[in-house]
Amino acid sequence: MDRARGYHQHLDQYQTFLVIEKGLSEKTIAAYSADLMKFGRFLEKQKATVVPGIDTGLILTYLIQLRAQGLSARSRARHLVSLRGFFKFLTHEKIIEKNPAQPIDLPKTGLHLPDVLSVAEVETLINVPDHNKPEGLRDAAMLELLYGAGLRVSELILLEMNGINQEAGFVRVFGKGAKERVVPVGRMALDAVRDYLDRSRPLLLKNRPSVYLFVTRRGSAMTRQSFWHLIGRYGRLTKLNKKITPHSLRHSFATHLLEGGADLRTVQMMLGHADISTTQIYTHVAQRQLMEAHKKYHPRG
């Protein structure tokens, strides 16, 4: 079979294989074909119809789009099964070396994707802190930055004053393994941080020095436990009937970017870790590209 052939030509071969070699029923083949044709339309929009160029990240982006369209976990799981079967066929035919759909997790209960807050729910959470109090301004800025840059809790609470560049619009953080990365920050998060710096931080510090951006009344950085308690309390005040954690905002950051059309590899670079697909290998993305993608696709960019 010719490797250079497009997705739809390979799909025709696969459908013939299902009829002749597998002997599946007409109904089953029709179900597989419908799923794979839908994926084909997605590939056409992505201009990625050459089969060897389809990777795990592209398939995962498609599944996340299905989730955004309202498909249930069971339906998304069925789509993944269809894709696994198709790419397994292509590996047997030596068209591709590895099945790109195989690494994606498929629990018994259906496709597992991170629980996320909607954009409106994120806004509800961020609006809970009392902006008339120094702690409220600080907390709102922390929530904006956590969501706006997809930071881990440790990265947020240990962020130093020189770690944020308000003019250029990015933060420099040290993630797991002390790996440094630069993450774009949207306008709304920058405005919240600027408001906190002008109206809150001086009142909390009372002329005491601190290298940390976010400080407590004691003049020290907030602990992980304190921030988890803080976000849990605000989460309950939203009355959204959801357990809201720092991970909720990090996952929401990633998913909202992907649902908006951002490339998975770009989002992974911003996260600093393959939270969405642990098998995905990072590729180099220029800082300017990261910032443009954040501004274009993030709801609060």
Q: Which residues are catalytic?
A: 152, 176, 247, 250, 273, 282
Contact between 39 and 62 (Cβ < 8 Å): yes
Provide the CB-side half-sphere exposure for 62 (13 A, CA): 28
CA-to-CA dists, residue 203 to 91, 126, 206, 252, 263, angstroms: 63, 21, 5, 32, 41
